[in-house]
Amino acid sequence: MPHPALSPPPPATRAALDLGPRALWFLLPGGGLLALAWVAPVSMVTPGLALLGATLIAVATLARALARRHGRARAGLHAAVAEIVAQDASACFITDADGEIGYANGAAKDQFGAVEGRTLVAAFGDQIAAPATVLYRLQNRALARGGARDDLVLRHGQMRLSVHRVGDERFLWRADNLGERGAAGRSGEAIALPMMSVSKTGTILFMNEALRRLLGGRETTLDRVFTDLPLRPGETHRVSGAQGPVNVLVVEAPLSAGRREIYLVPDARQHRVGPGEWGVLESLPVPLLRLDRAGQITMATGRARKLLNDDEAIGSHLSDQLEGLGRPVSDWLREAWDGRNLGRIETMRASRAADERFLQISLEQFHDDTGPALVAVLNDATELKSLETQFVQSQKMQAIGQLAGGVAHDFNNLLTAITGHCDLLLLRHDAGDPDFADLSQIAQNANRAASLVNQLLAFSRKQTLRPERLDLAETVSDLSHLLGRLVGERVKLEFDPGHAILPVRADKRQLEQVLMNLVVNARDAMLPEGGHIRLELENLFLDRALARDRAVVPPGDYVTIRVIDEGCGISPDHLGKVFEPFFTTKGAGKGTGLGLSMVYGIVKQSGAFIFVDSVEGSGTTFTLYFPVFSEDEPAADAAQATPEAAGDAVPAAELVPAAGPEVALPRPTHDPLSREGGIVLLVEDEAPVRAFASRALRLRGYTVLEADCAEAALKTLEDESLAVDVFVTDVIMPGMDGPTWVAEALRARPGVRVVFVSGYAEDSVSEHQARIPNSVFLPKPFSLAELTETVSRQLH
């Protein structure tokens, strides 16, 4: 019996197809017919043709089976998802890629009616603004990510609409009712106060009936409503009303995702608050106060009472709630009653708030059933005020830094003259002379004054650092012996060197000065009782940025230095001021207030960070963060620094506050009276400095030509027969500065050596000096020996 699939069709079918009797017929699984005509008897069919037929049958059968299986899988997935969401309390829909609803659960039918067969856009058409745009955006995000969601503002509340991809062609939508938008949402359509909900981009998502009546219909963007954008909450704006322009007071209430509710309070001259409307305003999610002529609060919304931190604000006077206006609150209210400065924003502090809270307040006039009144619109400005305070503090520190740098320059000129002439006097007096002790005291105190100037330069970050690779464990260990003697007998210094401390790059002398100042402050905080000071080193890795105290420490490897004491601590009021120059809590004559400001300047200039933590009555901890030095970075070898640049009158590391050990006088390394030859052109605008320098150089045997300005120096050099070996010149002078005139003079005299001197740091001349050959820098104040040694070194 032939296989059913190979049985020929009835004769009538064969005749209709006109294929003849010698044909091979295939009954396909879908009911179709496939005929292969032949011209030879069936017995002569080749094996290849039979194999082809069998293959076609197998492929067709497999395709049909896969299609049925895929259909059953999709139907099963569809049914499984539908079963899962069938009893869900939120409305759920299953749609195809075109948005046609194939399934809606019971909650969806209760909320939206019979929606199967309709599109999702049609179902949400009267619920949200621009539904096609919203749904298309969410569906595209679901295609890309597998799911998406958004919070939508409805006419009477909020809805969270989420969508998830189900298989390749279906989407599951879920609409969660987030409830009504507070009291304003419940009363949005009921109150006579116009209001709207607006997206972050300015699209109007909802407007109540009162606003639609005011505008004469629905609008979609703010520029179709207001004629004077941008909006300024708390101020009066003009609305394009159906009957003409209308002045309104704009009040905003923030929502999630940048959305906001905008309430339009009509101008007092155009609207009287009707009976019961103050009760509606009281429930709005915006901070509003109603004031009578005496300045007493007669109405306060819940948000206003929360900002003021006073649930009993009604009945109190506004001046009892706010402070910091800078003039009497009653004067401000009186101006508002007279119609002056209405809408102008004032920033004040809430006096009854538990924390420091600043409010922006504007006043407008109103009329209600009881007569005229003032309405105060409040906005929380605490964050804005904090940013403003940080900016002002930054500007103040910058201004003080510039002042400190200028003062340091002037002081260095004075100190150069004082120490220089003192050195000249000491050359004529030996240790047995009665005047020698007095001259030594002058020199020592001049050096102390130089230490204060260095602290000013450190704070202003205008000193020159000599960074090098440092092993902090070794550096601090060596310094701890000196610090142990410095703290005295009542205070015990403990040092924890940590384990395998990584190297850092810093100026060793300046780092020692930082630690010395911190330890001295810790010692003073524990006197007279005494106690323990701990120095701790630790390797620290930050996997993310550390943000605190208006600074951000980038992620990476650091070495921390902690200076911990058991002293009296620092009060919270003073904690934010400890790094300010001239701020001190010590008594008169016990501190300059420059120690910690110098520490702050050196640390910042070194690329490090410093933070302070303190508990009043328990102690204080200063923590320094130094970036770990990578061996791949080029390190500046301190030994390569020119002696002229490093030769300060007193090394910074040896400068300590007045309570520390005395500073030794600098001693010349050679006989200052040994004579040499050479011609020096000395250019200095400060007469006392010029007088000392010229005398010092002449004592050494140099011929000195003097000029009080750059122009005079160039005039002197016009004599081509005059041979000059060295230029010694100030950097900053009236008229042409030092580097400029030197560059001009070197065109005709390229072989002359140059010594730049300045009361500013080397940074002020470094760029110019780099372009001038054979030049060095000598910072003020300098001693007689340092000046003569530098000139001699330039000549030889």
Helix or strand (DSSP H, E) at 549: none
Percent of the chain with pLDDT over 70: 71
The answer, yes or no, to whether residue 728 has pLDDT greater than 90, is yes
User: Using one digit for the tens of pLDDT, what is the confidence trace for 124-164?
Assistant: 877 776 778 788 888 888 888 878 888 776 655 677 888 88
pTM of the predicted protein model: 0.39
Strands 679-683, 703-707: pairing is parallel
DSSP one-letter string for 577-640: TTTSTT---SPTTS--S-HHHHHHHHHHHTT-EEEEEEETTTEEEEEEEEEBPPTTSPPPPGGG
* H or E stretch covering 99: none
Find, among 643, 698, 644, 692, the residue nearest to 676 by Cα. Answer: 698
Please count the helices (runs of H) and the strands (runs of E) in the chain.
23, 32
3-state secondary structure 745-761: HCCCCCCCEEEEEECCC
Per-residue confidence (pLDDT) for residue 618, from 0 to 100 = 86
In tens, the pLDDT along 225-237 reads 888 888 887 777 8
Instruction: Give the residue-averaged pLDDT of 239-254.
Output: 80
Nearest to 530 by CA among 522, 540, 518, 538: 522
Residue bearing the bigger pLDDT, 63 or 796 = 796
Contact 703, 791 (CB under 8 A): no
Q: Kindly give the interhelix angle for 382-427 and 687-699, rounded to the nearest 10 degrees.
A: 40
In this predicted structure, what is the pLDDT of residue 655? 31
Sheet holding 753-758, edge to edge: 703-707, 679-683, 726-730, 753-758, 775-779
Average pLDDT, integer, range 369-374:
73
Confidence at 83, pLDDT banded by 50, 70, 90: confident
Q: How confident is the model at residue 259 (pLDDT cuts 50, 70, 90)?
A: confident
Q: If you search the block for the tokens 């120690």, which residue do you land on?
A: 595
Beta bridge partners of 448: none
Whether residue 100 has pLDDT greater than 60: yes
**pLDDT at 302 exceeding the cut of 90:** no
Q: How confident is the model at residue 624 (pLDDT cuts 50, 70, 90)?
A: very high
Q: With contact defined as beta carbons under 8 Å apart, do 56 and 34 qualify?
A: yes
Question: Would the pLDDT of 439 be above 90?
Answer: no
What is the average pLDDT score of the chain? 76
Tokens, residue 643: 């002696």
Instruction: Of 183-187, 388-392, 696-700, give the lowest mean pLDDT range.
Output: 183-187
Cα–Cα dist 767/778, whole Å: 15
pLDDT of residue 366: 73
- Above 90 in pLDDT, residue 729? yes
Q: What is the pLDDT of residues 591-605, one digit of tens each?
A: 556 678 778 888 888
Q: Residue 182: pLDDT band by 50, 70, 90 thresholds?
A: very low
Over residues 73-97, mean pLDDT: 74
Q: Where are the beta strands (DSSP E) in 543-583?
A: 546-548, 551-553, 556-565
Q: What is the DSSP letter of 234?
A: T
List alpha helices for 88-204, DSSP H.
106-112, 120-124, 131-145, 182-187
Hey, what are 147's tokens?
A: 């799911």
pLDDT band at 269 (very low <50, low <70, confident <90, very high): very low
SS3 789: helix
| pLDDT score of 178 | 67
Cβ-count burial of 117 within 10 angstroms (0-12 exposed, 13-18 middle, 19+ buried)? Answer: exposed
Residue 674 has pLDDT above 60, yes or no: no
Lowest mean pLDDT among 240-254, 274-288, 622-636, 721-735: 274-288
What b/e sequence results for 697-727 when a residue is b if at least 16 CB atoms lie within 10 Å of its CB, and e otherwise?
A: bebbebebbbbbbbeebbebbeeeeeebbbb
pLDDT band, very low/low/confident/very high, at 608 (cuts 50, 70, 90):
very high
Given pLDDT bands bounded at 50, 70 and 90, which one contains residue 564? very high
For residues 518 and 531, the answer to whether their CB atoms sit within 8 Å is no
pLDDT value, residue 272:
46
